[in-house]
Amino acid sequence: MVNEWIYAGAFYGLAALTLLSAAGVVFLKDIVHSALLLAASFIGVAGIYVLLNADFLAAVQVLIYGGAVAILIAFGVMLTRRPHMKETNANNRWVVWGAFTAAFTFAICGWAIAFTQFKPIDATPAQVTAIDGIATQLLGDFVVPFEAAALLLTVALIGAIILAKGAKEA
């Protein structure tokens, strides 16, 4: 009984950390503070993975996304050298369209989940418990999607840099 209370308290604490940090990322205007809150949000997700006994996923979450946030901070500082950073985007003119797009996307996802008839499967799923099994599947059976995702993320990063710097500067 006490163990369940501890797990529930840890879950709610980590969920609050994750959600409040994510809200801070969206609403703060300082890019460095937003990036640090993003790291806190990722740490909260990693804590939830630990509660689910997915220790490998928790370690990957901290290592991979921690490095990504460090790079994000570096790019944020390098690409936004403005003396009055907080005042440069006080009222974004696209906030209404962004809110509409987010609400529309949320509604579509909710509709898809609500009206999908999930059928239970009879077969037991393949259990991959060792890191060797994950590596074998990721670099064996799923090597093409893995490389395609890596290429897509690289292209997205280059596109973000070009958009942030402006077409004339690049």
Average pLDDT on 119-147 reads: 73
Structure tokens at 55: 């220790």
Tell me the per-residue pLDDT of 42-51, one tens digit each, with 9 for 90 and over: 999 999 999 9
Which whole number is the average pLDDT over 93-114?
Answer: 86
Q: Are residues 64 and 5 in the same domain?
A: yes
> Is the same domain home to 132 and 79?
no
Domain boundary among 83, 112, 139: 83
Separation CA 53–CA 57 (nearest Å): 9
Tell the burial category of 62 from Cβ atoms under 10 Å away from its Cβ (0-12, 13-18, 19+).
Answer: middle
Burial of 146 (0-12, 13-18, 19+ CB in 10 A): middle
Q: What is d(CA 55, CA 41) in angstroms, rounded to the nearest whole number?
A: 17
Percent of the chain with pLDDT over 90: 16
Q: Where are the beta strands (DSSP E) in 13-163?
A: none
pLDDT tens profile 134-166? 778 777 888 888 888 888 888 888 888 778 776
Judge whether 148 lies within some domain: yes
pTM (two decimals) = 0.54
* CATH number of the structural domain spanning residue 57: 1.20.120.1200
How many domains does the structure of the chain reveal?
Answer: 2
* Residue 91 binned pLDDT confidence (cut-offs 50, 70, 90): low
Q: Which residue reads 């503070």 in tokens?
A: 33
CA-to-CA distance for 149 and 159, rounded, in angstroms?
15
Domain span at 4: 1-83
**pLDDT of 29 higher than 70:** yes
Q: How confident is the model at residue 57 (pLDDT cuts 50, 70, 90)?
A: confident
Q: Which residue type is seen at 7?
A: Y
